Structure 1
């Protein structure tokens, strides 16, 4: 051992050949360093004499494995309670002299970390929920071995135990959400989607969307319940009734957005409205009750138009496959494109049949290389899939029409908080373009456009009123955009349709006026002045504070008396007559209403509910291509689980995403020295 100077603490470790700085880690109270062959060293446990790799030449192995040996009970000497005293600094080891005194260290918590079996089981349940692992993972030998390597004291839960933990997590998160929904300042809108299984049973998924007290758009899954006949209107009515009762939302329902095929929409709408009218005070006599999913209609129209040229799409898909089958063919095709002076930024790509946007992008890229495909067919006898000139014309027309849907979908997906106001502008542009396309002199264009317009026009007729009301709540557009767009769609009849929207807005506003409104002081009280009068208008009550210190007491009384008799404009009329807010890219409509809540106390409550309508059922930030076009399939494993476990897995996964983050455990790798 190398001696130390009188001014330095004595080090009992055998340092490597090269001079190193003194080791400060706590583990060196329990290990010594021993030299082995070829300049390598190993760390030797003072208690059990087991050695571990430490350095090989210039490379240091670190101390994490040494800490685990001491802290996690791997050392057999430490496992014996009678030997634990050997870990204390200054104690004797195997008859050797007492370790010389060292600097005193503040022990880090890793050495005394507490293991809690219950918390570990809860975290295991949350892991299974969030990542959709099978419950039987707790019986997988590989997973059991992995868990034991991390914490030998952890007792792996059984499948029955983990089911109980999952239900416990579900109930706890449900109570948190129920409390939040009980404090909602406005109404809630529901979305309904269907899930089928390989059996005759199915599931109905109900989610609620709302704007919370801080004016943030929120969406939460509420129920995922099994029904015997998910495609029947009675099943949906019963599911909605159970959901509203379960969450105490009977008086807070605003709208319902359905995800069903077009032919059955009218049946669903009528039955749901009739079933719930007597139990809920539906706004505007149920005119806004049923909403159809905007993503659904985009996907239905897109898939229908692609089906009209499915043969051509097949040829293009096979052509792309042929070229991408080998690097030699890709190189040959690139040479042909270069000779033809085709310089495209679009790369040939294969599509995913279930996502129509990929098919659209494949067709767009193929259009750029249509001449190259024709040349390839003439110089390569093994290729005979090139579309004809007429086929390319159809592809060009379809792409021009699909671009309307694709661009609209991109706008929706790129919006962080897709409030209801953004959908009107997208929908009316498509309606106008498709209407104009149906009048084209080109028979192919008008034929394809008519098929698209037929279904989109039905959506427009069903949902244009609610979309228009929502955009009126946007201070950048109000009724002006409705007037402008309707003139493009309806021509000379536009004024009649605008009046329908205007009348509906004013009628809806009056329903909110009839509801109680919390009193808000009109003037801030200063210097302890008392309120002596209250002025009422046709919308709300305003408290007027008297300022008697400035000699205008009589004036204040006069104002309070005349405020009762003077006729003032309603909030809705004042809002509509004010100038439009400038259109800026960073405009936050929810924040605007939050800031103008005091100015428009009644209208802001109406705006909160209207803007919170889920016009699209797809979650914000998710792909909407291919979504909402029919029932989704529950996999075989989850179909085999009990319905209550299935509901707990789906709902808890949704809720845990919004749970507050768990505070990180302070780092235990730092050991502070005390002198």
Structure 2
């Protein structure tokens, strides 16, 4: 705070004292050392008694210890008094200078005096009211704080203690700041979408409010020019009747128009509460089909969420044995009610010879994975629970032998779903290809379970398979085409898995996938593609070998005058019956299945080799097969509509959209909140 006062006194010709600050010794009686420290421009040394002196501030007249006999206090505390604004006279002087500078800027009669150069450790921290408003708005958005916190007396006092010059605003002004952040980030995202090389796939989710209103959440997933996967929320709009026939179609149409994506839509992924009929029955599909924007005649248009089907199947089978689950839950509660009971139960388990590899735990009733883990752990102690019932009159909740058998069967199938969900959640980039291998294993195991001779196993498997089979029939084509775009599997995994699922009838289903992927490829061939010269192979080879220093040549860069020759070769290639990129790709050997394989990087490196097929792969791999993003729990996604709390339900729809969308966008910024520099002027003496 003492920038203008203390720094102007520095002389450029005066040498700096490089000795340690706090190790000054008393001046010699025969030869007094000249004080070089800058603080002596603002302090005088006064003798208090024999051998004792104090430093007196010239401005405020406060005194500070300096020397006592041979001991010298140093000058660090004197510097702090001057440089950090502890001196009241300096603080008043600084305020007067600020006021004078402001008046000068307004009148325009005088010019600022030339600034003297001084050494600093960084930029001076300048308070910016508008910037502080922006940071406050971002904090409220990101952390979901209520807007009215700006009128909370405790929060206002806290902010004032940090920066007295900050003028707190009211709720209405804060709402305006939030909308300002939203519109700014929206413009940035629209510019990104404008340069997007491929198509975009949407996800549609429903939210309800405490009233009879509802919101539709629209997000888009795409792969950028650097082959990075992204998902961004683009709309969170209010609809009066979210379950009406045309609500979803209208919301999608508005989003496509607002973001200029009418010709870029590839697929739409729906959660469990959205009906495909709402999409197909309205005019959206016909409208897009008339514009020739739907690929493969719309066969890939609607995708069901994989996370939702796992939750539906798991929660339904748990509900079918809810009585047994209740007994297990109460049994675990009984044991864990006191340390004495836990100790007694452990002794029983030890006597019976139970290894006790799992610890008993209670579940969260809304998270089926915790219920599965509770049942799985209790299953290991089933004999201990039975014995406990015989020796403790207070316990009578032990499941029967048939109940334990049913729990064992249910846990066997739940483990299949649990492992699949865990694999998806731990995948960094959830490209569409990773879901086929998970889905076909679940489909196969449930189908095999229905054929079991054990009536209990077959009945439980049949109930689960009936729901999952519907998902498989709706989405197996999308999943199969996606895994064909994986160079580690291609059509081979489709052939292998379909043979196990469909048996002798597998050839018919394999042909459907093969025909569909060739038809889809031909649609991409018919689209304009940048001319790739015949001599690009050398550059391509360098790129494949990791040598990116020599970019592939282009007709304009070579200057050999053979551009017409390249056009001629391209026309000849089209007319000749040569193998297509797709056929070359399918016939080549599979890429080794190594750990950490990056499919997006593989296509990035092979973009020149397969220019058309890579465009198709970019769009297919970007299909959001699961609406649950990376790092989020599949188990917590639930099967019902998500509900807005009462506070957000009371806000204006445009404010709700701004809060939800801006929060999603801000989390992807390199720096969430980049605070102004906190460096202060550092005086050097």
Q: Tell me which interval the TM-score lies in, with the shorter structure as reference length.
A: 0.7 to 0.9
Q: Aligned-pair distance for 1:122?
A: 0.4
Q: Is contact 2:581–2:612 with CA below 8 Å preserved after alignment?
A: yes
Greater mean deviation of Cα atoms: 162-171 or 517-526: 517-526
1:132 has 2:147 as partner: no
Q: Is contact 1:105–1:671 with CA below 8 Å preserved after alignment?
A: no
Q: Is contact 1:25–1:671 with CA below 8 Å preserved after alignment?
A: no
Q: Is contact 2:120–2:681 with CA below 8 Å preserved after alignment?
A: no
Within-5 A mapping of 1:539-578:
566-578=576-588
1:308 has 2:320 as partner: yes
Deviation per residue, 1:507-548 (Å, 9 max, x gap): 101111111001122315597533154356xxxx867xxxxx
Partner of residue 230, structure 1: 242
The one of 607, 622, 642 aligned to 1:612: 622
1:599 has 2:609 as partner: yes
Q: Is contact 2:125–2:680 with CA below 8 Å preserved after alignment?
A: no
The verdict on how the C-alpha distance between 1:603 and 1:77 changes in structure 2, with shifts beyond 3 A counting, is same
Q: TM-score, normalised by structure 1?
A: 0.83
1:501 has 2:513 as partner: yes
The verdict on how the C-alpha distance between 1:618 and 1:33 changes in structure 2, with shifts beyond 3 A counting, is farther
Deviation per residue, 1:110-153 (Å, 9 max, x gap): 8x421100000000000000000000110111111111111111
Structure-1 separation of matches of 2:629 and 2:522: 32
Q: Is contact 1:14–1:33 with CA below 8 Å preserved after alignment?
A: no
Q: Aligned-pair distance for 1:47?
A: 5.5
Structure-1 separation of matches of 2:396 and 2:628: 41
Q: Aligned-pair distance for 1:586?
A: 1.3
Partner of residue 119, structure 2: 106
Provide the secondary structure at the position in 2 that maps to 1:626.
Answer: helix
1:534 has 2:544 as partner: no
The verdict on how the C-alpha distance between 1:390 and 1:519 changes in structure 2, with shifts beyond 3 A counting, is same
Q: Is contact 2:248–2:278 with CA below 8 Å preserved after alignment?
A: no
Partner of residue 593, structure 2: 583
Provide the secondary structure at the position in 2 that maps to 1:205.
Answer: strand
1:177 has 2:189 as partner: yes
Q: Is contact 1:617–1:628 with CA below 8 Å preserved after alignment?
A: no
Q: Aligned-pair distance for 1:46?
A: 7.6
1:656 has 2:666 as partner: yes
Partner of residue 399, structure 1: 411
The verdict on how the C-alpha distance between 1:265 and 1:533 changes in structure 2, with shifts beyond 3 A counting, is closer
Structure-2 separation of matches of 1:290 and 1:349: 40
Deviation per residue, 1:395-448 (Å, 9 max, x gap): 000000001100100110010001000111111111110011011111111111
Partner of residue 679, structure 2: 668
The runs of 5 or more residues in structure 2 that have no matched partner are 1-15, 27-35, 47-53, 66-72, 98-116, 537-552
Provide the secondary structure at the position in 2 that maps to 1:650.
Answer: helix
Structure-2 separation of matches of 1:640 and 1:120: 27
The verdict on how the C-alpha distance between 1:180 and 1:381 changes in structure 2, with shifts beyond 3 A counting, is same
Within-5 A mapping of 1:131-150:
131-150=143-162
Structure-2 separation of matches of 1:43 and 1:340: 83
Q: Is contact 2:39–2:79 with CA below 8 Å preserved after alignment?
A: yes
Aligned residues: 608
Greater mean deviation of Cα atoms: 523-532 or 481-490: 523-532
Partner of residue 344, structure 2: 332
Provide the secondary structure at the position in 1 that maps to 2:266.
Answer: strand
Structure-2 separation of matches of 1:30 and 1:337: 81
Deviation per residue, 1:550-601 (Å, 9 max, x gap): xxxxxxxxxx9x7576421011111111111111111111011111111111
The verdict on how the C-alpha distance between 1:32 and 1:521 changes in structure 2, with shifts beyond 3 A counting, is farther
Q: Is contact 1:250–1:280 with CA below 8 Å preserved after alignment?
A: no
The verdict on how the C-alpha distance between 1:45 and 1:198 changes in structure 2, with shifts beyond 3 A counting, is farther
Structure-1 separation of matches of 2:56 and 2:617: 71
Within-5 A mapping of 1:11-30:
none
Structure-1 separation of matches of 2:683 and 2:473: 72
1:211 has 2:223 as partner: yes
Structure-2 separation of matches of 1:313 and 1:16: 81
Structure-2 separation of matches of 1:642 and 1:43: 63
Provide the secondary structure at the position in 1 that maps to 2:422.
Answer: helix
Partner of residue 552, structure 1: none
Provide the secondary structure at the position in 2 that maps to 1:220.
Answer: strand
Provide the secondary structure at the position in 1 that maps to 2:202.
Answer: strand
Q: Aligned-pair distance for 1:270?
A: 4.0
Q: Aligned-pair distance for 1:31?
A: 9.7
Structure-1 separation of matches of 2:44 and 2:22: 5
Structure-2 separation of matches of 1:43 and 1:260: 78
The verdict on how the C-alpha distance between 1:50 and 1:343 changes in structure 2, with shifts beyond 3 A counting, is farther
Q: Aligned-pair distance for 1:329?
A: 1.2
Structure-1 separation of matches of 2:25 and 2:396: 73
Provide the secondary structure at the position in 1 that maps to 2:397.
Answer: coil
Deviation per residue, 1:213-250 (Å, 9 max, x gap): 10011000000000000112311110000000000000
Root mean square deviation of aligned Cα:
3.6
Partner of residue 253, structure 1: 265
The verdict on how the C-alpha distance between 1:571 and 1:383 changes in structure 2, with shifts beyond 3 A counting, is same
Q: Is contact 2:199–2:222 with CA below 8 Å preserved after alignment?
A: yes
1:192 has 2:204 as partner: yes
Provide the secondary structure at the position in 2 that maps to 1:221.
Answer: strand
Q: Is contact 1:77–1:83 with CA below 8 Å preserved after alignment?
A: no
Provide the secondary structure at the position in 2 that maps to 1:233.
Answer: coil
The one of 627, 640, 648 aligned to 1:638: 648
The verdict on how the C-alpha distance between 1:347 and 1:517 changes in structure 2, with shifts beyond 3 A counting, is same
Q: Aligned-pair distance for 1:33?
A: 13
Q: Aligned-pair distance for 1:663?
A: 5.9
Q: Is contact 1:207–1:221 with CA below 8 Å preserved after alignment?
A: yes
Partner of residue 368, structure 1: 380
